[in-house]
Amino acid sequence: MKQASILLDGLPVPFDAGQTIMDAALAAGIFIPHLCHHPAFKPQGSCKLCTVKANGRYVSACTLPARDGMEVENNTPDLNDKRRTLLQMLFVEGNHFCPSCEQSGNCMLQALAYELEMLSPHFDQFYPNRPVDASHPEVLLDFNRCILCELCVRASRDVDGKSVFSLSGRGINKHLIVNAESGRLADTDFDWADKAAQVCPVGVILKKRRGFAVPIGKRRYDIEPIARQVESLAARRADDMGHGD
């Protein structure tokens, strides 16, 4: 029986029942820009960077199930221009100064800005006043860099079973908080071994006494651009499957 497939930028991409457009693309080594997507969690489509055109309609690739014969546009000037605008808004809504950030070179937001050739923030900076929480013995929280992807919220709730984090407020006042009466991370049972400590795509959740340990040129996205990493991972998986035959 012929496997179902979508046509992604003119290329046939197979998928299994229940897979989304994002699932199918990543399995095939095709990069769709994203920040809030993580394969371990149910998708929610909050960042909108993965917006594609499916049969002529703008949709979130991480939430829309793939359908046989679906025609999907991903890497087009129109979509990449919209993604650059979203990135520019994310950069000015928080305090993102890459040269002084411990996560520089390992940050998905920064890597996507390079990938999509974002040359300037374009909009006026918001300069939000968000305090740093250094109360925990192992972890520093720099709320200034939060992009509201909710990955730490979902990880802490769905994987760790602790619900350490949540979002509070609405609209422009929406922000990440710690679920403790004091609002301090030290007053929770958060641990560096938690899944929530590992999923932040930017520089909010940081291990203390380890900053700038990896030199420039050897950091994750210094070695290989973000889109190329998806291609390489898919190639390694295909190679492993071939050796297993």
Question: For 127-185, what is each residue's pLDDT tens digit?
Answer: 988 889 999 999 999 999 999 999 999 999 999 999 999 999 998 889 999 999 999 99
For the segment 85-99, the average pLDDT, to the nearest whole number, is 94
Q: Both tokens of residue 52?
A: 């594609």
Q: Is the pLDDT of residue 90 over 70?
A: yes
Q: What is the mean pLDDT of the chain?
A: 94
107 domain-assigned: no
29 domain-assigned: yes
115 domain-assigned: no
Same domain, 24 and 71: yes
Q: Is the pLDDT of residue 100 over 70?
A: yes
pLDDT category at 237 given cuts 50, 70, 90 is confident
217 domain-assigned: no
Same domain, 39 and 10: yes
Same domain, 165 and 231: no
Angle between helices 77-93 and 108-115 (to 10 degrees): 140
Nearest-angstrom CA–CA distance, 13 and 3? 10
Over pLDDT 90: what percentage of the chain? 86
Domain span holding position 228 = 5-81+223-244
pLDDT category at 189 given cuts 50, 70, 90 is very high
C-alpha R_g of the chain: 19
Q: What is the pLDDT of residue 244?
A: 54
Q: Is the pLDDT of residue 221 over 80?
A: yes
Same domain, 174 and 228: no
Number of domains observed in the structure of the chain: 2
C-alpha angle with apex 49: 159 to 234, nearest 5 degrees? 65
pTM (predicted TM-score): 0.93
Residues 5, 54: contact at Cβ < 8 Å? no
142 domain-assigned: yes
Same domain, 207 and 173: yes
61 domain-assigned: yes
Question: Looking at residue 32, which CATH number applies to its domain?
Answer: 3.10.20.740
What one-character DSSP code corresponds to residue 28?
T
